[in-house]
């Protein structure tokens, strides 16, 4: 069990998303353990209202705000040793700024999570930002990174050409809930998806074609998608082109608190990540879509290896989502209920107890002065070029690129 007296969590806005809902669950779980919880977030997130009132929340709009908030947090007192948790490159650098604010004599450890196979080199990010992300990860030390599954760790290991054996694998945790879904004996199949309409969740844009294929097989299906994002117009246009607009509905964002009550009225869930796990926890049969794939899947979530919630699996064959829907349509009531139970059993493995217990003991912390200096320099450089004085006042994007090109050329020579 977590033996840190105080826990500090650092992130940006708590808008609806997989990492954001994880933070809500984690904060509320830790406050239930009577831990001294400090949450640093940017203002304006829709999920703020779901945070347990026992947690101390500090909102910041700039790096200066964050540092001031850190001083306020320290003034409230630190109960024993402290653990800092961050959730992406930006929050990892900010977490280091908070760690540096701790008074001498206080042991503060920082662990940062990696929750996407491309987290530190996302498509569309400029080369200088990807370089900074890598520099930050190397300066933090691989032992302070943890990955949601082996696939995410392997993709970063390959991209960076390093061994990440020191980095722990800690699967995404969800809270255990009552499985209220019941199998229904009817031919109509109501499908639901929940999540942001972004590029790596291409199953959303593939939905119109999937529906068309299913109708061609004689299936009677309707698909509701809860979510918003840049893919919405593409989905609407594709639905018109496939002549399935009456079968596909974009319903906007779903309030996280309404997730359970809404989903149990459907027959089948299609999605990935946290939402797929939470749907499975309710007993809703869940097809786990694959990252970047419009109509491909490794199967129902119970078919996937533990920890994988949609990431590519090297060497494993995929099935079309339309064929999986067809196989579900051919199941009788008992078979659907048995599939539901398998999904529930898989979801139960993603426990919050296991997630929290995976963090090292506070007594085992040992960080040399050299490592502390490297972490300080790496995070300071990252923040300076992304949101600090250099980024805002001194350099334009063109000058920054010239600097990074110069650094890259020096490394090659």
Determine the pLDDT at residue 131: 95
Nearest-angstrom CA–CA distance, 374 and 236: 49
Residue 404 has pLDDT above 80, yes or no: no
In a domain, 12, yes or no: yes
Q: List Cα–Cα distances, 185 to 219, 261, 321, 328, in angstroms.
A: 14, 21, 21, 12
Do 109 and 198 reside in the same domain of the chain? no
Determine the pLDDT at residue 327: 97
Nearest-angstrom CA–CA distance, 89 and 167: 15
pLDDT tens digits, 313-354:
999 999 999 999 999 999 999 999 999 999 999 999 999 999
- Give the count of domains, the chain: 2
Residue 412 has pLDDT above 60, yes or no: no
For residue 76, name the pLDDT band (cuts at 50, 70, 90): confident
Mean pLDDT value across residues 213-220: 97
Determine the pLDDT at residue 413: 44
Place of tokens 């018109």: 240
CA dihedral 395, 400, 403, 404 (to 10 degrees): 160
Determine the pLDDT at residue 73: 87
Half-sphere exposure in the Cβ direction for 14 (13 Å, CA):
25
Do 14 and 53 reside in the same domain of the chain? yes
Of 336, 326, 329, the residue nearest 213 (C-alpha): 326
In a domain, 62, yes or no: yes
In a domain, 292, yes or no: yes
Do 23 and 150 reside in the same domain of the chain? yes
In a domain, 181, yes or no: no
In a domain, 73, yes or no: yes
Place of tokens 């984690």: 26
Do 284 and 200 reside in the same domain of the chain? yes
Place of tokens 């919880």: 37
Nearest-angstrom CA–CA distance, 288 and 253: 20
Nearest-angstrom CA–CA distance, 253 and 358: 32
pTM: predicted TM-score of the whole model, two decimal places: 0.90
**For residue 315, what is the domain's CATH number?**
3.40.50.2000
Task: Tally Cβ neighbours within 10 Å of residue 115.
Answer: 20
In a domain, 180, yes or no: no
Give the 3-state secondary structure of residue 241. helix
Do 339 and 193 reside in the same domain of the chain? yes
Q: Which of the listed residues 302, 325, 347 is the one where a domain comes to its end? A: 347
Which residue segment(s) compose the domain that 216 sits in?
188-347
Do 116 and 207 reside in the same domain of the chain? no
Do 308 and 192 reside in the same domain of the chain? yes
Do 270 and 128 reside in the same domain of the chain? no
Give the 3-state secondary structure of residue 84. strand
Do 320 and 362 reside in the same domain of the chain? no
Q: Which of the listed residues 347, 382, 401 is the one where a domain comes to its end? A: 347
Do 11 and 111 reside in the same domain of the chain? yes
Do 368 and 307 reside in the same domain of the chain? no
First to last CA, the chain: 49
Q: Which of the listed residues 312, 347, 382 is the one where a domain comes to its end? A: 347
In a domain, 178, yes or no: no
Do 122 and 195 reside in the same domain of the chain? no
Residues 6+ apart with CB under 8 A from 30: 2, 7, 37, 55, 356
Of 87, 44, 94, the residue nearest 73 (C-alpha): 94
In a domain, 241, yes or no: yes
Nearest-angstrom CA–CA distance, 319 and 328: 13
């Amino acid at each position: 069990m977590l033996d840190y007296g105080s826990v500090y969590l650092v992130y940006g806005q708590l808008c609806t998303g997989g990492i954001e809902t994880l933070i809500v669950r984690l904060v509320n779980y830790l406050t239930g353990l009577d831990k001294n919880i400090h949450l640093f977030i940017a203002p304006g997130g829709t999920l703020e209202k779901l945070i347990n009132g026992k947690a101390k929340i500090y909102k910041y709009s700039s790096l200066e705000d964050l540092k001031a908030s850190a001083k306020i947090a320290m003034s409230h007192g630190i109960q024993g040793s402290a653990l800092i948790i961050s959730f992406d490159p930006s929050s990892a650098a900010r977490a280091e700024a908070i760690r540096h604010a701790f008074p001498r004599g206080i042991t503060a450890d920082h662990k940062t999570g990696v929750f996407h196979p491309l987290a530190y080199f996302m498509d569309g990010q400029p080369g200088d930002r990807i370089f900074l992300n890598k520099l930050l990860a190397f300066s933090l030390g691989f032992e302070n990174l943890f990955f949601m599954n082996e696939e995410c760790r392997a993709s970063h290991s390959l991209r960076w050409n390093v061994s990440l054996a020191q980095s722990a694998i800690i699967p995404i945790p969800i809270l255990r809930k009552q499985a209220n879904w019941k199998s229904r004996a009817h031919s109509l199949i109501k499908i639901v998806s929940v999540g942001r309409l972004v590029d790596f969740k291409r199953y959303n844009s593939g939905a119109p074609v999937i529906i068309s294929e299913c109708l061609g097989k004689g299936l009677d299906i309707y698909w509701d998608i809860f979510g918003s994002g840049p893919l919405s117009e593409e989905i609407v246009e594709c639905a018109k082109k496939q002549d399935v607009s009456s079968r596909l509905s974009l319903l906007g964002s779903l309030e996280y608190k309404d997730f359970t009550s809404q989903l149990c009225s459907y027959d089948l869930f299609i999605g990935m990540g946290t939402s797929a796990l939470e749907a499975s926890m309710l007993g809703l049969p869940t097809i786990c879509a694959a990252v970047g794939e419009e109509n491909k899947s490794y199967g129902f979530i119970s078919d996937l290896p533990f920890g994988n919630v949609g990431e590519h699996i090297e060497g494993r064959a995929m099935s079309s989502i339309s064929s999986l829907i067809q196989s579900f349509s051919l199941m009788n009531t008992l078979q659907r209920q048995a599939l539901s139970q398998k999904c529930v059993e898989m979801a139960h493995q993603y426990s919050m107890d296991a997630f929290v217990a995976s963090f090292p003991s506070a007594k085992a912390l040992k960080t040399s002065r050299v490592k502390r200096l490297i972490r300080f320099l790496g995070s300071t450089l990252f923040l300076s070029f992304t949101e600090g004085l250099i980024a805002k006042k001194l350099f334009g994007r063109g000058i920054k690129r010239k600097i990074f090109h110069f650094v890259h050329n020096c490394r090659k020579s």
